[in-house]
Amino acid sequence: MVTEITIPKLGLTMEEAKLVKWSFDTGQPVAVKQMVALIETDKVSFEIVAPVKGLVYPLVPAGTTVMVAQIIGYIAADAAELAILQKEHPVDAGVMVEQSKEKPEAKLDKTDTAGSNTGERIIASPLARRMAKEHGLDLAGIPGTGPGGRIVEADIQRALAAPPQTKSVPVREASAVMESDLALTVLEEIPIQGIRKIIFQNMHLSLNTQAQLTLQTEASAKRMQGLRHRMNKRLNPDETKISYNAIIIKAVALALRQHPRINSSVDKEMIKVWKQVHVGVAMDVGKGLIVPKIRNADTKPVMTIAKELDQLVDKAKQNALTLDELQGGTFTITNLGAWGVDHFTPIVNFPESAILGLGRIVEKPWVENSEVVVEPRIALSLTFDHRIIDGAPGAMFLKTLTSMIEEPLLML
Amino acid sequence: MAEDAKDLLGFYRTMVMVRQFETMAAEYFAAGEIPGFIHLSIGQEASSVGVCSCLRPDDYVATTHRGHGHMIAKGADLNKMTAELFGKKTGYCKGKGGSMHIADFSIGILGANGVVAGGLPITAGAGFSIKMRKTDQVAVCFFGDGASNRGPVHEVMNMASVWKLPILFVVENNQWASTTPQTASGSVRDLSIRAAGYNMPGVSVDGNDVLAVRQAAQKAVERARKGDGPTFIENKTYRIRGHFEGDPQKYRTEAEVDEWQKEKDPIDLFSRYLVKHKKSTKKGLEKIWADAAIELDKAVTFAKESPFPEPEEALEDLFVTDFKGGSPS
Amino acid sequence: MKERIISASAALAEALHEEMTRDERIFIIGEDLVSHEGIFGQFKGLPQKFPGRVIDAPISESAIAGVGLGSALTGMRPIVDMHFSDFVTCCMDELCNQAAKIRYMSGGQVTVPMVIWCPDGAGLRAAAQHSQSLEAWFVHTPGLKVVVPSEPADVKGLIKSALRDDDPVMFFQHKQLFARQGHVPEEPYLIPLGQAAVKREGKDVTLLCYGSSYYLCQEAARVLADLKIDAEIVDLRTLKPLDMETVAQSIRKTNRAVIVHEACLTGGYGAELAARIQEELFDYLDAPIKRVAARDVPIPFSPGLEDYCLPKVSDVVAAVQAVTYK
């Protein structure tokens, strides 16, 4: 006799769940009380067990959202019943394979074959590669559990086990605790995809991989202010004004030339100290965090940097940045000064090894020659990867940088 | 048994055909039209014709890398032979065998062989099969003085004797095994002595006297057909050309070759015999040469005009069931 | 169908009785066949039933193989019994230069319908020259077919097909498997050459085997089941022509392959098969292909030494664990 496999109601207000995976393929034998499928609500994971022994016949593919009491499959007593089921409830071959409903990745994604920042080769089995390609997954974000960190099928399966949804879903009620006014309700559901997904993965990867610490100091912004003022006065009206960011990018680039170790990345067992200095500038133009690069910042005059930066911001607003402009950075600066932040602990933009956080330029009392003076000062927060940059070298770089900011003529 | 003039001239014609074929092959090989290697039997015509003229079409012959003479003597088609040497599609083996592997199973020729003495085990099989099928066919195996020292020869001789297989072991001792003279490689001078070691009759014959060869072969064929077992015949002859065409022949003197060519050429000897015993005239013999030349020309034309096989044909004829070489299953 | 359990040698004898009755051109030639009815009893009853068709030859492998070949060329369908497969070396010219090539070299003028029957394999303390598995040499010789059955039922069906095949077939039977019993249908049946068999269905790994290693894989599958690894066993049965489709189907399902054979590792059949698999099924592989085989030494005599050299159940299990990352 054919037995139904249905979705149980796990809570007072439960209406639906996600069918995460089947434990058996069509026609495989299952014992009574053996787990046959796994479902997930946003509160809990639940194993559906076989009510009888027999041959499993999944009807609904994994990854589907299912309703309470919905029949997701059957258990046939024998091969004959299985054949009847196959005739009466035909299922596409291959539909049981977990399907990702993710949209193809946006142009900004790092692909696994395009030159990544470090040129690091991603080790994955042929099958894993194919599955990742078929499901639009980025191998770079998937941890590999095989030998030598090889990404294998199981890792892809894991990554697929919780695919994001493609659109916002209207308000749903979570399982009730006791009475409805004590329960949490969702205001909005936002799928983690696109840029958010990249940031999501990158942040995690960065902190998960590196040993990061932040050194904090302050620099006098007096001379930098003065320089900026004088330079901008000499500009024609149509020329791009020089920003603090531009000056600091230049200082950073030159300081990196003096402390090349900060301008590096880890590639497996190797520290790769980069020849070029490409400084990224973190910005949010309303679509999320992006980090366009000023390439070879050490070779460009401040005016050029300022102009390029301006162009990058424009392009960012129009969503017109190219892959080259977004890839291949060796250092990042991030400026939260506009929001009144001083010191903070920025997270390194993986796979770079250091990031400089800039605070606001604020007038503060300072002591000079034993006298209290008022001068503009700026907070500098340098986070770096202590696996390859120790405290002292990091501090030395920060000191060089600070000197250049405090005395821009040192950049000559 | 006295052969009549017609028969004798028939033998002569065949010997001349062999000589002309080999000469043609030497020419075209030197001109670059015959690829690979050829090994010519010029000077050994009496051995091929003497033995094969005693055989029926359904008797078997296994021959050697120097086998054009045996083929022609057994009745092979000149067109197909020539085409095969030229590597053409219309050759006996569709261009797949060449001179060393040429064969015509329809007239009992079990193939030339690239391995010296390679034909002996096959001949043992043919002889065995004759016995199983209870026919009165015989099987002849030609091999050289060099081959006669190989293991399989001795295994097969022993087995043929024990089981009384209807086999003629015909060793063509042409004095040279590639660069090695028989005097340096053989434990005996008269190879027929070895027959006694295997309890079979053995005889050494002037291999350049076609009638002497015939006499010995006839006796052996009769013995075999009766079911009395194998015979070992040594045809003492001489290899006029090098081991292969293009052989610099540093191992022997021109004088030695000249001597055999002038004094002991089998066709010359037989010519003289035929004229002396009034079986033909000099003119008559010349006509035979001329006729043979014409026939051969036709064969050469046929070969030249035939196409080469398509490259993909290389994958055919491997197995009987449809399983081509190179991309199995 | 009622189960009928008989040994592999009984299965062979049964098949030969049937074939020799059906076709009077079949005969068997080899050494020491008549009085013992084959040293493994594999020709039981045949000398009596078919007088003159089971022939004891002198110890002359070249001549024996030659008898096989020459008679195959002239109307007969012989079985050449090699006594021990190791002795093929004494007639390699006849097998590989002649039998394998005559049809091709002659441009298809003839067929060579002979079966070269070779008891092979190790584990009997028979030492280096009586223990080899040489199938790879013949797979590498164009013009020969190569069959290596495992179970008695395979022996019967395959020898019948080999005898009906018009090409030369190298037929290897493991010495230790002659006494092995298995279900063999009573009625005549054929197993075509070039057809593999999935003898155990599974989803986690494909075990590719033939001959004695089939039994090794069955044991390993039991151990693996306890470790919750579900192995699929594909018994190749014929190495040439190979049933690649069955192999591919299995690997497309399991994404992992372990090849097991008793022949030594280097240049063994597994190397050829692994190359083909990675060529044709690259994107289906979640792990490298592993081979389990004997060590690259001549088989030694002393039991401990021999056992060390031969592949074991634990080797198969370890290989499977490696490719399943468990």
**If we measure between CA atoms, which residue out of A173, A158, A176, A110 comes closest to residue A323?**
A110
| Amino acid code (one letter) for B135 | T
Q: Does A296 touch chain C (CB under 8 A)?
A: no
Residues 6+ apart with CB under 8 A from C63: B120, B121, B124, B152, B155, B156, B158, B159, C57
> How much of chain A, in percent, has pLDDT values that exceed 70?
86
Please, are residues B100 and B71 in contact by the beta-carbon 8 Å criterion?
Answer: no
Rounded CA separation B33/A350 (Å)? 70
CA atoms within 13 A on the CB side of C42: 30
Percent of chain C with pLDDT over 70: 100
Q: Is the pLDDT of residue A99 over 80?
A: no
pLDDT tens for B218-227 read 999 999 999 9
Domain extent listing, chain C: 5-183, 197-324
Residue C198, Cβ density class (10 Å: 0-12 exposed, 13-18 middle, ≥19 buried): middle
CA distance C7 to chain A (A): 32
> A164 pLDDT exceeds 70?
no
Axis-axis angle for helices B45-52, B5-30 (nearest 10): 130
Query: CB distance from C262 to chain B under 8 Å?
Result: no
Question: What DSSP state is assigned to residue A71?
Answer: E
Nearest C-alpha in B relative to C109: B105
pLDDT in tens, B97-142: 999 999 999 999 999 999 999 999 999 999 999 999 999 999 999 9
**pLDDT tens per residue, range B175-207:** 999 889 999 999 999 999 999 999 999 999 999
pTM for the model stands at: 0.65
**Would you give the DSSP letter of residue A185?**
B
pLDDT band at A43 (very low <50, low <70, confident <90, very high): low
| Confidence class for position A406, pLDDT limits 50, 70, 90 | very high
Distance, CA of C116 to CA of A206 (rounded, Å): 66
C-beta separation of C116 from C135 below 8 A: no
Please check the confidence at residue B61 and state whether its pLDDT lies above 50.
yes
Identify the pLDDT of residue A195: 74
State whether A153 and C286 contact (CB < 8 Å): yes
- Told to judge if A390 belongs to the known catalytic residues of this protein, a careful annotator would answer yes
Contact A354, A385 (CB under 8 A): yes
Average pLDDT over every residue of A194-199: 78
- Predicted complex: ipTM over 0.85: yes
Tell whether C3 lies on the interface with A, counting CB pairs under 8 A: no
Answer yes or no: same fold for C5-183 and C197-324: yes
Q: What integer pLDDT is reported at residue C96 of this predicted model?
A: 98
Q: For residue C290, give how far its alpha carbon lies from the nearest alpha carbon of chain A (Å).
A: 14
Please tell me if residue C238 touches chain B, with a CB cutoff of 8 Å: no
Domains of chain B: 5-315 (3.40.50.970)
The pLDDT assigned to C292 comes to 98
Pair A215, A356: CB distance under 8 Å? no
Chains B and A touch (3+ CB pairs under 8 A): no
Please determine, for residue A109, whether its predicted confidence score (pLDDT) is greater than 70: no
Greater model confidence, A193 or C269: C269
CA atoms within 13 A on the CB side of C108: 16
Among B212, B218, B267, which residue's Cα sits nearest to residue B14?
B267
pLDDT tens digit sequence for A328-348 = 899 999 999 999 999 999 999
- All domains of chain A, ordered by start, with CATH? 3-88 (2.40.50.100), 100-205 (4.10.320.10), 210-411 (3.30.559.10)
Q: With an 8 Å Cβ cutoff, are B319 and C145 in contact?
A: yes
Q: Among all residues of chain A, which has the CA nearest to that of C287?
A: A125
Label the pairing between strands A354-368 and B180-181.
unpaired
Quote the pLDDT of residue A322: 77
Mutate to test the interface with C, among B71, B129, B143 (most CBs of C within 10 A): B129
Q: Structurally, what CATH architecture does the domain formed by C197-324 represent?
A: 3-Layer(aba) Sandwich (3.40)
Instruction: Report d(CA C182, CA C215) in Å as an integer.
Output: 12
Average pLDDT over residues B17-34: 95
Contact flag C286-A128 (C-beta cutoff 8 Å): yes
Higher pLDDT: A100 or A312? It is: A312
Going by their DSSP bridges, the two strands A35-40 and A16-22 should be labelled as: antiparallel
Q: Does C280 touch chain A (CB under 8 A)?
A: no
A219, β-bridge pairs? A378
Which stretch of A129-138, A245-254, B297-306, C291-300 has the lowest confidence by average pLDDT?
A129-138
Per-residue pLDDT of C214-239, as tens digits, reads: 999 999 999 999 999 999 999 999 99
Q: Is B1 exposed, middle or buried (0-12, 13-18, 19+ CB in 10 A)?
A: exposed
- C-alpha distance from A126 to closest chain C C-alpha (Å): 5
> How many CB atoms are located within 10 Å of the residue C252 CB?
12
pLDDT given at position C35: 86
Q: B48 in helix, strand or coil? A: helix
Residue predicted with more confidence, C265 or A105: C265
Is the pLDDT at B214 greater than 60? The verdict is yes
Least confident residue range of A367-371, B323-327, C44-48: B323-327
> What share of chain B has pLDDT > 90, as a percent?
91
Instruction: Using a pLDDT cut of 90, give the percent of chain C over it.
Output: 95
Contact A126 C287 (CB under 8 A): no
Q: Which of A45-49, A202-206, A310-314, A321-325 has the lowest mean pLDDT?
A: A321-325
Neighbours of chain B (3+ CB pairs under 8 A): C
SS3 category, B284:
helix
Amino acid A112: pLDDT: 40
C chain contacts of residue B318, beta-carbon cutoff 8 Å: 103-104, 142-143
How large is the average pLDDT for residues A80-100? Answer: 67
Answer CATH for C5-183 from 3.40.50.280, 3.40.50.970, 3.60.15.10, 3.40.50.720: 3.40.50.970
pLDDT tens-digit map of C108-158: 999 999 999 999 999 999 999 999 999 999 999 999 999 999 999 999 999
Given a cut of 70, is residue B2 above it in pLDDT?
no
Q: Is the pLDDT of residue A96 over 70?
A: no
Give the contacts of B64 (CB within 8 A, at least 6 positions apart): B70, B112, B113, B116, B119, B142, B143, B144, B147
Q: Is the confidence at residue A241, as pLDDT, over 60?
A: yes
